[in-house]
């Protein structure tokens, strides 16, 4: 038995949507009591840190309806059914920024909100960027503006809460600490 396992007694899908589903589960707690868990099912996502030849990170500013404002993020997108995360990463990078990449490396994966959602984000770093000459190939309901920041600028944006998207801050901080470790070991 898993640690503190909560066995599912009943699972009910309350909503099946375009991006998320909502399940309500009745669970058996470790002490024998029952409780309910509301769980958002998400297909998972990729996020990409695109690094230009002069060392800048390519980001996108886009409107997030949940927050009622535009925010700065690294390029990201949800997994399509059955699609390899690496393919999604290349596609989202190209669609949202117009860049293709030579090397795409998986850094780490993490869960954004394990208290109520199963969303996992697979984080990649994209290097060897080259601009394709056509315009952005966005989803029909997607509007973004591309910007490029040095890692130092991005870290300042986090401090100043001009970047307050968790996956983006996670990504930039992870990259910075990884570089320091690589330097110390190299």
Q: Alpha-carbon distance 147 to 67, whole Å? A: 20
SS3 8: strand
Q: Pick the closest to residue 19 from 73, 58, 66 (CA basis).
A: 66
140 included as an active-site residue: yes
Q: How far is the CB of 176 from its own copies (least distance, A)?
A: 6
Please list, in sequence order, all residues whose beta carbon lies within 8 angstroms of the beta carbon of residue 21, skipping any fewer than 6 positions away: 13, 15, 40, 41
Q: How far is the CB of 18 from its own copies (least distance, A)?
A: 7
Choice from 52, 56, 62, 151 touching its own copies (CB under 8 A): 62
Site for its own copies in 86-105 (CB under 8 A): none
Q: Does 84 bind its own copies (CB under 8 A)?
A: no
Site for its own copies in 112-131 (CB under 8 A): 112-119, 121
Locate 106 and state its tokens.
Answer: 């998986």
Q: Does 18 bind its own copies (CB under 8 A)?
A: yes
Q: Does 111 bind its own copies (CB under 8 A)?
A: yes
Give 124's strand partners.
48, 106
Q: Does 2 bind its own copies (CB under 8 A)?
A: yes
Catalytic residue list: 140
């Amino acid at each position: 038995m898993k640690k503190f396992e909560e066995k599912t007694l009943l699972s009910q899908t309350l909503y099946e949507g375009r991006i998320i589903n909502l399940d309500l589960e009745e669970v058996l707690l470790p002490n024998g009591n029952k409780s309910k868990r509301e769980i958002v099912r998400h297909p998972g996502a990729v996020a990409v840190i695109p690094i230009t030849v002069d060392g800048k990170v390519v980001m996108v500013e886009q409107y997030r309806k949940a927050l009622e404002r535009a925010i700065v993020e690294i390029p990201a997108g949800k997994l399509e059914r059955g699609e390899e995360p690496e393919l999604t990463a290349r596609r989202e990078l190209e669609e949202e920024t117009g860049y293709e990449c030579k090397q795409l490396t998986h850094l780490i994966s993490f869960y954004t909100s394990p208290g109520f959602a199963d969303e996992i984000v697979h984080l990649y770093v994209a290097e060897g960027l080259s601009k394709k000459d056509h315009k952005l190939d966005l989803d029909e309901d997607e509007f973004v503006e591309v910007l490029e920041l040095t890692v130092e600028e991005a870290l300042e944006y986090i401090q100043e809460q001009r970047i307050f998207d968790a996956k983006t801050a996670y990504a930039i901080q992870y990259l910075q600490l990884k570089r320091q470790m690589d330097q110390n070991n190299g």
